[in-house]
């Protein structure tokens, strides 16, 4: 294969902090894959950037009108994918709103040229910013009419409003100490009391950081990651490494290879047969072969460990490093199991997490957390119901849920 599981994990761990924090679970996978494929020589940086770059000839550009359109400069994390990009947009204007003063024409994109991709062109604009909007209180000693013009390529610009432009220094306490005495910030150009009169609904503008985050959220990590993943898939298809049909078949096979029903059947067998339960706890992989089931995950050899709930101990499973889970046996893991919240909290405050799932641990019962960090996968054997002898296997199967096998339910 082109990528091993450990390489994939390492690629995720080495993502830039901002990228790691602001991308979705599978978005991290896609970026890691790109990094490893470049390292292995499957693609060059230039080849892959054609498909995954956030700016390309194929992406439509909305024209900005000089003298009338206001724009907000994107923050760097819009363009930070699996590698740090070549930036030609000064960091001091990231997130700031300015007025477009001139359309300078189309030029070769420097961020693409830096990686030997020469067929991408972008429109370059000159944008004017007020100094008091750029620098925090006390860092600019001048008038509110002082400005700076910056040349910025279109992909870095988001449509903004005159209202955002006029009020950004109010929001961020960015009015210079040197503002003339007759300059009234609360009434200059935009009377806040008149907001309702021209359709601007009353709301809390928030800090500049909050405004920047709203701009990021407007596009959303899911949209960005979907575009990134589609670009990677197109690159793999064009390279002849995989086809869309092969990918579909692989997904279907993964989804069909395991199900919660498999786990439920194992539990019922363990409840009914003490000897099988003993073998299951001693060597789950071997015990499952007796039932014609495979305990190891399909993409990597793993050891399944079955742990028993008792009146004295309640077991719960997690993977703090990624989301290790017995997918080959139980099918895809639930989304919450992969979430940062569950992974980080369950080892620190397991009882609180259990309570959020509606699970109350009896007084005097210990909680045992199993953190699956590498080659082991865990499955919880719940305590059997009191009336087990009166129930049929089918009735027992209906009582066993995926959450019980993970341990968030008893």
Is there a catalytic annotation at residue 319? yes
Is there a catalytic annotation at residue 365? no
Active-site entry in 32, 318, 322, 372: 322
Half-sphere exposure for 161 (CA within 13 Å, toward CB): 7
Question: What are 324's two structure tokens?
Answer: 């290790």
Is there a catalytic annotation at residue 322? yes
Active-site entry in 34, 82, 318, 319: 319
Map residue 90 onto helix, strand or coil. coil
Is the distance from CB of 51 to CB of 234 less than 8 angstroms? yes
Listed residue (360, 364, 383, 378) closest to 310, CA to CA: 383
Q: Round to whole Å and give the CA distance between 244 and 236.
A: 10
Is the distance from CB of 69 to CB of 100 less than 8 angstroms? yes
Q: Round to whole Å and give the CA distance between 78 and 70.
A: 19
Active-site entry in 49, 112, 176, 323: 323
Q: What is the H or E stretch that residue 34 is in? A: helix 25-39
Query: Which segments of 202-299 does DSSP mark as H helices, in order?
Result: 208-219, 221-238, 244-257, 260-272, 274-282, 284-289
**What do you get for the CA distance between the two ends of the chain, in Å?**
40
Is there a catalytic annotation at residue 323? yes
Is the distance from CB of 205 to CB of 7 less than 8 angstroms? no
User: What b/e sequence results for 271-304 when a residue is b if at least 16 CB atoms lie within 10 Å of its CB, and e otherwise?
Assistant: beeeebbebbeebbbebbeeeebbbbbeeeebeb
Q: What is the H or E stretch that residue 304 is in? A: strand 303-308
Given the DSSP bridges, would you call strands 366-371 and 313-318 parallel, antiparallel or unpaired? parallel
Half-sphere exposure for 390 (CA within 13 Å, toward CB): 3
Map residue 45 onto helix, strand or coil. helix
Phi, psi of 136 (to 5 degrees): -60, 165
Active-site entry in 34, 324, 333, 341: 324
Partners of 370 in the beta sheet?
317
Residues with catalytic roles: 319, 322-324
């Amino acid at each position: 294969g082109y990528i091993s599981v450990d390489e994939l994990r390492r690629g995720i761990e080495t993502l830039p902090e901002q990228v790691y924090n602001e991308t979705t679970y599978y978005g991290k996978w896609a970026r890691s894959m790109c990094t490893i494929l470049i390292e292995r020589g499957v693609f060059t940086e230039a080849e892959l950037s054609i498909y995954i770059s956030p700016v390309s000839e194929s992406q439509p550009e909305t024209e900005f009108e000089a003298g009338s359109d206001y724009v907000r400069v994107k923050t760097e994390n819009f363009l930070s994918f699996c590698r740090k990009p070549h930036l030609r947009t000064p960091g001091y204007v990231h997130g700031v709103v300015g007025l477009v003063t001139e359309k300078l024409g189309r030029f070769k994109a420097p961020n693409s040229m830096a990686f030997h991709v020469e067929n991408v062109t972008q429109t370059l604009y000159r944008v004017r910013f007020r100094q008091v909007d750029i620098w925090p209180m006390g860092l600019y000693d001048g008038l509110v009419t002082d400005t700076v013009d910056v040349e910025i390529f279109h992909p870095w610009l988001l449509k903004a409003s005159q209202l955002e432009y006029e009020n950004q220094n109010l929001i961020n306490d960015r009015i210079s100490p040197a503002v003339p005495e007759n300059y009234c910030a609360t009434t200059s150009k935009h009377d806040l009391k008149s907001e309702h009169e021209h359709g601007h609904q009353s709301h809390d503008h928030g800090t500049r950081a909050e405004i920047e985050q709203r701009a990021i959220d407007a596009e959303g990590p899911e949209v960005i990651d979907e575009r990134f993943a589609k670009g990677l898939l197109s690159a793999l298809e064009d390279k002849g490494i995989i086809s869309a049909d092969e990918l579909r078949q692989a997904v279907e096979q993964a989804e069909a290879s395991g199900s919660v029903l498999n786990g439920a059947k194992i539990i019922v067998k363990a409840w009914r047969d003490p000897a099988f339960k003993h073998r299951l706890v001693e060597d789950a992989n071997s015990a499952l072969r007796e039932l014609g089931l495979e305990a190891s995950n399909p993409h990597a050899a793993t050891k399944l460990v079955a742990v028993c709930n008792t009146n004295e101990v309640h077991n719960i499973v997690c993977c703090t490093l990624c989301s290790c889970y017995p997918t080959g046996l139980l099918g895809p893991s639930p989304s919450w199991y992969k979430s940062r919240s569950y992974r980080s909290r369950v080892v620190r405050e397991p009882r609180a997490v259990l309570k959020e799932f509606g699970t109350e641990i009896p007084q005097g019962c210990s909680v045992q957390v199993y953190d699956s960090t590498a080659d082991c996968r865990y499955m919880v054997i719940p305590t059997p119901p009191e009336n087990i002898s009166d129930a049929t296997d089918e009735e027992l199967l209906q009582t066993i849920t995926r959450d019980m096998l993970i341990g968030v339910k008893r």
